[in-house]
Every structure is written in structure tokens, then in C-alpha cells.
Amino acid sequence: MTAEPLTDETGNARPYSVSELAFALKRTLEDAYGFVRLRGELSKVTHHSNGHVYLTLKDEKAAIDGVVWRGQVRGLSIRPEQGLEVVVTGKITAYPQGSRYQIVIETMEAAGIGALLAQLERLKARLAAEGLFEAARKKPLPETPSVVGVVTSPTGAVIRDILHRIRDRWPCRVIVWPVVVQGDQAAAQVAAAVRGFAALPETGPVPRPDVLIVARGGGSVEDLWPFNDEALARTVADCPIPLISAVGHETDTTLIDFVSDRRAPTPTAAAEMATPVLAELKALTADLGARMHRCAARLVEDRRGRIDHASRALKRVPDLVELAAQRFGIASSRLAAGLDRNAALHERALVAVSSRLTPLLLQRPQAVQRERLERLAERLAPSMVRRLERLDERLAALSKLYLSVDPDRPLQRGFARVTRADGSLVHAGASLESGEEVAIKFGDAVTRQAVIDGAGAPETAPKPARTKARPAGPAGGPAQGDLF
């Protein structure tokens, strides 16, 4: 590449255009400061709607503009906020249209513990203002859970302590969702585990836990910092399952401790909060059973005493039945005489009535009914005779009609009936086909024949029948042929 001359043909310095100078300065900055690590306080932080973040880094003497492109914002370890002291890495570039230089930020981290805690306090105040720390929204823990879900590292001592404590207190099913509990991926994995437990169906191959435990051992503020993530805190607050936070030691406090339903000082204490003691429940049940039996015995004894006290005021059974027994004895002694008097009274009444009864009283109605039946028979006899004569005449007429329509009667006078193989009558010879088999019924027999036309021979040649000579027809005509 040939360098452009710095002077013109007159020997004077060559004039640059504004854009040439601006882009030359831009290339110079980018070549000289391709990678810069910068510390300062954030100011004028603007989260643009397109996803980019525009800000200013300053100290007590100078300031520089900065930008975080949308693709890098999601990878930042902290959220850029006004007044936060940070350490950023990126490259210096120039903005030719405004003759300004700026830093394009790739990574950002808090400058110290004080900055992290200040950011945490601001986030805590904002979530508290939204009501996420209110006691009214916290869910009660189940008294006797059947399934306990644990979100923690599967290789640490925390999970062994929790399993051992639950096994000693309340043997139940424990489902562990393995996650990392330290580093940049910890917050996202813990939030995904909480959402995964919440999404389990209540009746499925993997049962939905009755209570969740998010646990981690102790550590520094930087080690526990993933549990101060805003997205994780909101996920814990929205979890429909009661959740116990057991992160760090008793003196350690993280953001999810405020949004969870219960906070445990240690993971072992979380296991004790989530489960009752089976031996204590058995002892309590036995004590309640004993108390119930004692109460029932006292109740029965009290009712027995009240019954005994009330029975003293009641009359004795002999006193109650003595008067009734006396009345019964008097009535029974008078009953025999009363029955005798009643029988004598009815006997006299029967004698008085029987003197008026004679056989004629019964015979007279019978004679009257007999006379009525004889008169009725005399009137009905002629009509029955006439009706029988009419029915006899009708039966004779029907017999004659039956004989006249009998299909076999003409066969007795020399006629024959021709039928096909299917039983239908043959009304004309022209309807028959050559070789078709027909049945001919005479008065005394049935024969089967085949129709023969003039051109062919019969299928079965019957023996010719002997017939007598018939006289010639009238007026010397030909003799009458055989019908068959």
C-alpha cells in the first residue's frame, strides 16, 4: 500500500477532509487501545428500548462515554445502575459523526464488596416496595409432607446432611434437583430447578413435592452472590410450592431469604423445618388415644351416676303393676259369668228366629227360578233350530263351491296338467323351449317329459304308446290327433 504524500506539488501540507481525519483518528485509537480495563463510577445509565445500554464512566477528574451492545447485556454479571462503581473491559473507539470517543464494553463487574452491597440494598428496597417480602403472601409449610424436593449440589455435604436428617425424623421420598451453587450459572440453574418442580403434575410418574428446600453451604459474599439475583428472587416468590431457603450459615443473608416462605439458618435446620419427628407423632397419637379413653371412661361413669340418682326418684316395679294386677283379677273373675249370660241371650234370640223358619221359605225361590228357566227354554228352542238349519245350508253351498274349484277334479275326466320344473303352470305350448323338462299330471299318476321340436330328437326317446284307431273327423276330414 503506497502512503499518500504529506505535501502537495507546491510544497505545502496537504489538506485532509474532515471525514479522512475523523476515520484516521478512529483507526489510531482502535489500534492503540484494542483492549482496555477501566475502573469508574457509572453515570447517566440509559437502558434503550432496542436493548442497548448507554452510560458514562467517570471519576473525580474525567469522564468517558460507554455503550453495551444488546448481545453483551445478557452476559453481564451485574445490572448497570446509576452510582455503581465498576470495572469494565472493552475497546476504545471513536464516533466520527460527533468527534467523540467512547468505550465499547464487553464485561462488567463490581469494583468491590461495598458496591455489590449497595446494589443489593437498592434491589432489596425495590422488591420490598413491590410487596414481595410481605408476611401475608408467605405460604404455610405442610405438617406431614410425603415428598420433599431439594435444590442443591449433588456432590456436597449439604445433601448428605439433609438426607440423613430426614431419614432420622420422617422417612419420606426425597427428590434432588442437581444444580451448581456457585458461579455465573448458579442463579439460572436454581431458578430453572424451582420452575421445574412447580411445573410437575400432581399425579404423574414423578410426584410433585409438598415442600422445597433450596440449600447451600457457607461461603464468602462472592460465593453466595448468585442467590441475590433478581430473576431468582422473583422465581422463588412466584413458586406455588412452599419453599425453605437454607443458604449459608446463620449469619449469612441472601435475597431469596426474604422472598421464601421460611428461612432456615442451616440446611440441617431446613430439613427439621420441613419434616416432623415420627417418634414424637407416635407418642402424641398414643397420648391422645389414652386421653380419649380416659375421657370416655369419665363420661360413662358420669352418666351411670346420673342414672342411679334419677332411679331413686322412680317408683318400684311392683308398685307400678300392683294396681293393674288387681284390676285384671277383678275383670277376669267377672268374665266367665258375662260369657254365660251372653251365650244365653244369643240362644234365646236364635230360638225366636228359628220358629219362623220353614223349608217352604227355601223351596219357593227355587220353584220361581225353575219356572223362569223353562219359559226361557221354550222361547229359545225354535230360534236355535232355525239358526242351525241356516248354517247347514251354508255349509252345503260351500262344499259345492269347493268341489267346483278343485284343480284336481278335471283330471278325473281325462284332462292333464302341465307344469315346469319350478312348479309354474304351462298355459301355452309356444312358451316352452326345446329340451325343457315338464311334468304332466294325470288323474292317477305324474310323468316327466322333455319338449321336442321338429328339428331335433328327444333327449330321452319314450316307447311309443299303443293307441286305438280313431274315426275320421266329420265330413271326411282328417282324424283327430292325440293330445299328448
The CATH 2.40.50.140 portion of the chain extends over 18-111
How far does Cα 305 stand from its chain's mean position? 57
Query: Would you tell me how many other CB atoms lie within 10 Å of the CB of residue 12?
Result: 8
The CATH 3.40.50.261 portion of the chain extends over 136-276
Tell which CATH classification among 3.20.20.70, 3.40.50.620, 3.90.950.20, 3.40.50.261 matches the domain 136-276.
3.40.50.261
Based on its alpha-carbon atoms, the radius of gyration of the chain, rounded to whole angstroms, reads 63
Phi, psi of 178 (to 5 degrees): -75, 135
Helical segments of 215-316, H only: 221-224, 230-238, 255-259, 267-274, 278-312
Cell of 90: 472493552
pLDDT at residue number 232: 94
| DSSP strands (E only) in 100-226 | 100-110, 147-152, 173-178, 211-216
| Virtual torsion, Cα 297, 300, 305, 306, nearest 10 deg | 140
For residue 216, list its beta bridge partners: 247
pLDDT at residue number 255: 93
Return per-residue pLDDT of the chain as tens, 484 residues.
444 555 556 666 777 777 777 778 778 877 777 788 888 888 888 988 888 999 999 887 888 899 999 888 888 878 888 878 888 998 888 877 777 888 899 988 877 666 667 778 888 999 999 999 999 999 999 999 999 999 999 998 999 999 999 999 998 999 999 999 988 899 999 999 999 999 999 888 999 999 999 999 888 777 888 999 999 999 999 999 999 999 988 888 899 999 999 999 999 999 999 999 988 888 889 999 999 999 999 999 999 999 888 877 777 777 778 888 888 888 888 888 888 889 999 988 888 887 777 777 777 888 888 888 888 888 888 888 888 889 999 999 888 888 778 777 777 777 888 888 887 888 787 888 888 888 888 877 777 677 655 433 344 444 444 444 444 444 444 444 444 4
pLDDT at residue number 127: 92
Query: Would you tell me how many other CB atoms lie within 10 Å of the CB of residue 32?
Result: 9
Query: Would you tell me how many other CB atoms lie within 10 Å of the CB of residue 99?
Result: 11
Cell of 152: 442443591
Q: Give the H/E segment covering residue 379.
A: helix 359-404
Contact 226, 190 (CB under 8 A): yes
Nearest to 227 by CA among 248, 242, 244, 206: 248
Query: Would you tell me how many other CB atoms lie within 10 Å of the CB of residue 63?
Result: 13
Rounded distance between C-alpha atoms, residue 388 and residue 460, angstroms: 59
pLDDT at residue number 476: 44
8-state DSSP, 478: P
pLDDT at residue number 7: 59
Architecture of the 18-111 domain: Beta Barrel (2.40)
Q: Give the H/E segment covering residue 158.
A: helix 157-169
pLDDT at residue number 249: 85
What DSSP letter does each residue of 314-336 carry, written as one string?
SPPHHHHHHHHHHHHHHHHHHHH
Contact 108, 78 (CB under 8 A): yes
Rounded distance between C-alpha atoms, residue 197 and residue 405, angstroms: 99
8-state DSSP, 92: E
| Virtual torsion, Cα 407, 408, 412, 416, nearest 10 deg | 80
8-state DSSP, 425: B
Q: Give the H/E segment covering residue 443.
A: none
pLDDT at residue number 5: 54
pLDDT at residue number 466: 45
